[in-house]
Copies of this chain bind each other. A is one copy, B any other.
Amino acid sequence: MEVKMKSLSLLTDLYEYSMANGFEQNLVNDQAVFDVFFRKVPDDGSFVIVAGLQQVVEQLVQLHFNDSDISYFKGLNLFDSKFLNMLQNFEFECRINAVPEGTPIFPREPLLTIEGPLIQAQMVETLVLNILNHQSLIATKSRRINFAAQGRPVMEFGARRAQGPDSAIFGARAAVIGGCSSTSNVYAAKQFNIPAAGTMAHSWIEAFDSELESFQQWARIYPENTALLVDTYNVLESGVPNAIKVFKELKGEGHAPIGIRIDSGDIGYLTKAARKMLDDAGFYDAKITVSNALDERVITSLLQEGAPIDNFGVGEKLITSASSPVLSGVYKLAAIERNGKVIPKLKVSGSREKVTLPGIKKIYRLYKIGSAQSFADLIALNYEEIGGEPLSVIDSDPLSVGKMHVLRGYRAEELLKEINLTHFRSNDVFKIKDYCQTEIGKLPDETKRLTNPNRYTVYMTEKLANLQQRLLKKSAN
């Protein structure tokens, strides 16, 4: 099953078209290379989990402008007829290189590059960033939350608090890539083949005359899916005792109880007390699920105090990455090809951090020979040979001291892969999740922790560093 997104050809900032129209008149034969990268990791983490490539590709291959779009553009009185004609017969011709979805990526590394006619490569900036920034943000948050849950299943529950429908749908997809096991969102579950999860809301219980009756009716209908919400009236005095009554009835009929869910109150205290009541009644296998404004901090704290929780349902704080709700990925010009010559480009800035890395680049993950654990990444120019030979590199962090290192005895794994746009097939989201976990497994432990992770080194080659310096000096003249 393959449900496509609606066409988002117009999801772009106006200036992309204003510039494209201008390029059409000035630099119509220029080819360009743009890099997508970010400078800061949400929640002061060490890396971002890249997600959204499938939707980017789906959109790019179907980019087109219908009559209504063209007449809208005409009405803006900004564009000349040659440009509008080009739009009417638009075919996307750029080439894309990207890291596979689920790859952990570090600041300044191009995670996607677009190479092709300057006009076209400029036009798709906003759309590409929107999709990648969103899904990578949520995959990254999900990784954090699942890391905190220490292997306990985390269900994505955020649809009602997501920032619009797509935020819920593609956010659920990204949450699975980052580690979640299921979603309550039926649309996303169907579209991306994710297990749909959920039990009941308080309204189920309130609709009946008593809590016990509501539990009994539920158990009758869903004898194999009896996760009872126990906090409508009073968890320990009413909810859990009533749940235990129903579990006993179910047991008499040969069904195994699924468990209870607690959605309010002091989760640490209530889960311990509820666990004891369930165990005392012999229901050792009844699972305890908790929800209610959870995130990686709350989960870490609950598990630290020994709260006996089997499953987490995580909503608004995951689906909006609430504590850090923006991934500021950017799309920067790396090079222009004009009359067969590559001209590397640099964005200068008053702020050292914002100076870009010029030229067409590739990125590598570096391992010591014989080790399965990476020790650094490397950004190189596309014509450089990277392999076992001694290699001069410099930390790419603009705040580093800029000392030269020589790498020896290393193995380099290239991360950017060319995407076959015409034959692109979407990957199963759980395969992406598995890949993500494998790749995270190769990183040093100290870069994975949630609080003050160690900064993972991203080197650049001496050649790239020299190119940046040369262009910086030139721009100062």
Contact = CB atoms under 8 A, between A and B. Distances in A.
Copies of this subunit: 2
Contacts of A25: 217, 221
Contacts of A475: 233
Contacts of A161: 129-130, 133, 326-328
Contacts of A69: 190
Given A12-B159, A186-B13, A19 B201 contact: yes
B350 A5 contact: no
A27 B204 CA distance: 10
A10 B190 contact: yes
A120 interface: no
Interface string A153-181: 00001011111111111110000000000
Interface residues of A, number: 107
A206 B343 CA distance: 11
A19 B345 CA distance: 58
Contact of A328 (B17, B316, B345): B316
A200 B19 contact: yes
Contact of A134 (B167, B218, B347): B167
Nearest to A59: B165
A320 interface: yes
20 contacts: A6-B6, A14-B197, A15-B200, A15-B201, A18-B198, A18-B222, A19-B203, A22-B222, A23-B207, A32-B203, A130-B162, A137-B163, A163-B167, A164-B164, A164-B169, A164-B170, A207-B345, A233-B348, A265-B351, A322-B325
Given A22-B217, A163-B163, 11 more contacts: A5-B165, A11-B185, A13-B159, A13-B198, A18-B222, A130-B164, A161-B327, A164-B169, A203-B332, A317-B326, A322-B326
Interface of A: 1, 5-6, 8, 10-19, 21-23, 25-27, 30, 32, 34, 68-69, 72, 76, 78, 118, 122, 125-126, 129-131, 133-135, 137-138, 157, 159-171, 184-187, 189-190, 196-204, 206-208, 217-218, 221-222, 225, 231-235, 264-265, 316-317, 320-322, 325-329, 331-333, 336, 345-351, 354, 475
